[in-house]
Chains A and B, each alone.
Chain A
């Protein structure tokens, strides 16, 4: 049994998103497993980024449920009960369920611990690399500063928290190899470094699920390989599961454990990389083969 079926972290059920008359995502269901790197792929305009925006709360889906689990997997049994209640989340000792489609965007990150990056990098380019990483620790620091009041008075508890936040930033600077550039404005970094910084910034929110929108776009092969190492490291060392949108098949096939393929807002394939790679529907979607031909190919493969 696959891990995403056995120990799912995120479950999308019957997700539909319409913009006016346009159906961007149509009745999409899939799961992402805990500790997996799940790739969401598909041709341009397939609705991948829309799915991301629904998961991270930037769009409110027209229909469907998006649920995320913290802690023990047993808690999934209570999903329907949690949905029946009007609450956005159900938390008890050692476990929690979050109904992401009910949460506004910032709560998805703050409470459900889902972090994301953007297709067109969104760094705070006039702030330094270090500051970018500190902004990401906003909520933790807010609590430590007693919602600014204690911090203004300069109490030691806040100083300690601030020191810890800088240590954490240093840890990530080391991981993404940008220690030397910590005090430079983020906008001055080369493109590849900006991509890495955006990932590190997302990781500073201590997510359980990291959503990456085309992290390898615009990277050269060497940077791409570094990225693979970084992502695998995040999964191993930090125990964060990853959901990514990617066009670069070398990245997808090399690092992902699970691939979901979208075309015109509908799921056309779902499985291990090897399975998806050989799925005639996927090949057809990418190469632009008509439906009859797909059926023909399918018949051939099956026979």
Chain B
């Protein structure tokens, strides 16, 4: 009986699903017809002409129609009402996806870890599905598997509604992994090959982790929406570059100085605007970020304009430079010169800076001012009724966040040796903000996971050369990075509006530390 009604319901669904899928196809045709079906190219005389691409359009529309139909029948069809499924992407679909993520995560992590173990022990599992054929060195395989294991852990986090506390168990393991990463990379990819891994993945991700942790103080803890955070990154970078070039001051003096200058700018910019409410604050900070960038672009005498500043002095190990001279690091320690020493040094430098940020954040949360930040995020009026000077409290958050941005900036300019306004566009601010919000507001572990996913994912796109074999040689995966980045921001928000780790850990307790569900965390003004 029950079976029959269900079948009856399903048969109705199929008609409906087909209609719905066709409608979706029509909409897709309307959206993409102009952009994918037609391409504008310049001909020899530099005039625009149209090229038709019916196949590409057909493929995209086809995928949408079929996908929508399948989703309708097999996923949404089970919901009591189709409309409800669209309106709230929770329940069945989400649960299924989470279980899937969890499962895949566990499998990937286990396989990767076990395989690494076996390989390090000398042998290898004879037919590991993920080990690519012979051309690759043992090291590269281990490295890839280590990254795969990390992604597996991320997937588990996705699937498991990971709480801040559960993530905390991963903390020491994570720090251990980070500390050992250069060694793993060298073991894995050899001297030459590891440079790319340490630099593009290690340092790059850690810069964003640090920026994310810095902005987390402002956005995550104090609830102040800052869309111009990159301005402080720029202040730090230009402070170091200019002061180092003009006055020849050392990195170790300029690092704190750059931080202080950024914090100072944070206070100057913050003071007039911090009484504005959320969205307005966001827009004013965006405006300030753009103003600073435009000044850098236009004030050529000061900043070199678009051309930027090059030849920025590199940091030294307390006076010992990393170069090929007799005074250099390699010569002093009787090693053969290799650029990798500097890269490793930079890696540990940014690791320490990032950990300093995290340490200060953790300590600050337990200070009265840190508690006031979180209280401010929830209800500014209540804070004022308790005698908290909200302007000062906001300013400390803003200045502290700016200071860490400045540290990261001076590190960035010391690492690159070259900076230009191009590195400090709005999109950079958006990316850092995305890391904070996607990670889960206020959660340090969330920021790490989001930075690994977004920045690491971004870098991985470069490596996916095998896609060329599928899509042909003029396929450039890097082109699609922005597209995927934007789309994944939307998808993750739809999926977890409060970010990957949405619980908060109380800063004090009497008997036991219970985590607080993100749903209870109000957002007031700010």
Contacts and interface: CB of A to CB of B under 8 A. Distances in A.
Interface in B379-398: 379, 381-390, 396
Nearest to A170: B510
A126 interface: yes
Contact of B516 (A126, A134, A136, A170): A126
A107 to B, nearest CB: 8
Interface in A128-187: 128, 130-131, 134-139, 141-142, 145, 147-148, 151-152, 166, 170, 179, 182-185, 187
A108 B386 CA distance: 9
Interface residues of A, number: 46
Contact of A131 (B385, B507, B511, B512): B507
Interface string B489-526: 00000000000000010111111111011101110000
B53 interface: no
Interface stretch (B245-253, B326-334, B366-374, B463-471): B366-374
Given A110-B387, A131-B507, A125 B371 contact: no
Nearest to A126: B521
Contacts of B360: 152
Given A106-B388, A109-B387, A126-B522, A182 B382 contact: no
A26 interface: no
B375 interface: yes
B371 to A, nearest CB: 5
B195 to A, nearest CB: 37
A109 B379 CA distance: 16
B508 A166 contact: yes
A118 B367 contact: no
Contacts of A58: 381, 384-385
A105 to B, nearest CB: 4
Given A109-B384, A118-B385, A130 B364 contact: no
Contacts of B513: 183
B449 to A, nearest CB: 21
B516 A127 contact: yes
A184 B514 contact: yes
A152 B363 CA distance: 7
Contact of B367 (A145, A179, A185): A145
B388 A138 contact: yes
Contacts of B145: none
Contacts of A187: 520, 522
Given A122-B379, A142-B369, A109 B364 contact: no
A196 to B, nearest CB: 16
A205 B382 CA distance: 12
Contacts of B164: none
B386 A126 contact: no
B368 A141 contact: yes
Interface in B469-496: none
The 5 closest A-B pairs by CB, nearest first: A126-B521, A110-B387, A109-B387, A141-B368, A187-B520
13 contacts: A105-B384, A106-B385, A109-B386, A116-B385, A126-B518, A127-B374, A131-B508, A134-B508, A135-B371, A138-B388, A148-B368, A182-B511, A185-B514
Given A115-B385, A126-B522, A127-B371, 17 more contacts: A58-B385, A106-B383, A106-B387, A108-B387, A109-B387, A118-B381, A118-B385, A122-B379, A125-B520, A127-B506, A134-B368, A134-B371, A135-B372, A139-B387, A183-B510, A185-B516, A205-B387
